Structure 1
Amino acid sequence: MTINLSKGQRIDLTKTNPGLTKVIIGLGWDTNQYDGGHDFDLDASAFLTDENGKVTQDLDFIFYNNLKHSTGCVEHTGDNRTGEGDGDDEQIKINFSKVPSHVHRIAITVTIHDADVRNQNFGQVSNAFVRVVNEDTNQEVLRYDLGEDFSVETAVVICELYRHGSEWKFSAIGSGFQGGLAALCRNFGLQV
């Protein structure tokens, strides 16, 4: 049974789902009517951070130009440049058993590619969601619908998966940023 979360809620992942080691983070969205002459290209990313919320090495940033972590713990399945169709628009796979000990949080984000040039923002995006699926059973464990809280933002931290002792938990963040991917990178301690 799927658990629906609201912004700010936290929930246990691995403790209440014994044996859960591999998940698929499915992200989806629609774009509102827009006549700016450009398609929307939304991009999912994962920032693997230390206990202070900072990425300690460039390889701990998973995105369309670095699809797979060297340990195999996080893998982006590929860039969907249009977001057309139903279901997940992009997916990130996580294997908790392979996450290096220096990684305490995995922040899942979505940015709008070339948002400033194209005059686009998350106010033009609707029905955005994230869902966590047990990769072994294909069962949806939880879902977080973002709602319509954004207007001028060009990047959003959707959620975080984080260590709590030997377990993993999920936090519904829904925090917007202006400045796109570059702003997120700086937020997580990467040089742009």
Structure 2
Amino acid sequence: MAVSLQKGQKISLEKEAGGVLSRVKMGLGWDVASSGKAGGFLGGLFGGGGGNDSIDLDASCIMFDTNKRPIDAIWFGQLQSKDGSIQHTGDNRTGAGDGDDEVINVDLSRIPANVQSLVFTVNSFTGQTFEKVANAFCRIINANNNSEVARYNLSAQGNHTALILAKVYRHNGEWKMHAIGETASGRTFHDLMPAIVPHA
């Protein structure tokens, strides 16, 4: 059973998965708070077609080296890391269907040795604040068997336009996850960098 993370908690991904994790997916999901229509697991993200309920949240992953310098970023403007180890499945603007709203695939075995951490963020590209967002979460899935390893449910609502969700990082030769859950403001990850770097 997946571990449910609290803000600030750190876990060993391999310990929770019960073995070596080579490929993982970071799944991100959210609902629109005002629509009142859940529509399945996460289908209510953009409500029932009303224009006012539309909110385009974007997931990003920033790769940092041991000196906390950004090396690469995976987002809707660049769906794959330059080394090919991380791939974004694409921008979800409709929220249709069940499951994760956006997914970032990570091949841990292919992450370059100089990469120390991966920081995952989500931001409101359309500029609406998270007062309109409910039930936000991020989760790590073992891509080899599609089992959920860890889930972090965020109390995301508030007058901000972005969240620094979590960090996956190397520690003593294994991959760990740190639930961050810090609010920030910005339409893309570029705007968030001053807030992200202290967590890298």
TM-score by length of 2: 0.83
Query: Could you list the runs of 5+ residues in structure 1 that have no partner in the other structure?
Result: none
* Matching residue within 77, 81, 84 for 2:96: 84
Shift of 1:188: 4.9
1:48 aligns to what? Answer: 63
Identity of aligned residues (%): 41
Whether 1:121 and 2:136 are equivalent positions in the alignment is: no
Whether 1:164 and 2:174 are equivalent positions in the alignment is: no
2:154 aligns to what? Answer: 146
Shift of 1:87: 1.6
1:183 aligns to what? Answer: 191
Which secondary structure state, in structure 2, belongs to the residue aligned with residue 100 of structure 1?
coil
* Matching residue within 64, 76, 82 for 2:76: 64
Separation in 2 of the partners of 1:174 and 1:185? 15
1:26 aligns to what? Answer: 27
Contact 2:123 2:186 in 1 (8 A): no
Shift of 1:65: 1.3
Separation in 2 of the partners of 1:37 and 1:146? 23
Q: CA RMSD in A?
A: 1.9
Shift of 1:54: 2.8
Query: Could you list the runs of 5+ residues in structure 2 that have no partner in the other structure?
Result: 36-49
Residue by residue over 1:40-81, the C-alpha shift from the partner in whole angstroms, topping out at 9 and shown as x without a partner, is 00000000012243303xxx1000111111222111011101
* Mean Cα deviation higher: 22-31 or 36-45: 36-45
Which secondary structure state, in structure 2, belongs to the residue aligned with residue 129 of structure 1?
strand
Divergent runs of 4+, >3 A: 34-38, 185-189
TM-score by length of 1: 0.87
Separation in 1 of the partners of 2:23 and 2:77? 23
Seen in structure 2, the aligned counterparts of structure 1 residues 179 and 19 have a Cα distance that, compared at 3 Å, is closer
* Matching residue within 114, 117, 130 for 2:138: 130
Contact 1:55 1:188 in 2 (8 A): no
Contact 2:34 2:53 in 1 (8 A): no
Which secondary structure state, in structure 2, belongs to the residue aligned with residue 183 of structure 1?
helix
1:107 aligns to what? Answer: 119
What one-letter code is carried by the residue in structure 2 that aligns with 1:27?
A: L
Which secondary structure state, in structure 1, belongs to the residue aligned with residue 193 of structure 2?
helix
Seen in structure 2, the aligned counterparts of structure 1 residues 146 and 188 have a Cα distance that, compared at 3 Å, is closer
Seen in structure 2, the aligned counterparts of structure 1 residues 84 and 32 have a Cα distance that, compared at 3 Å, is farther
Separation in 2 of the partners of 1:123 and 1:97? 38
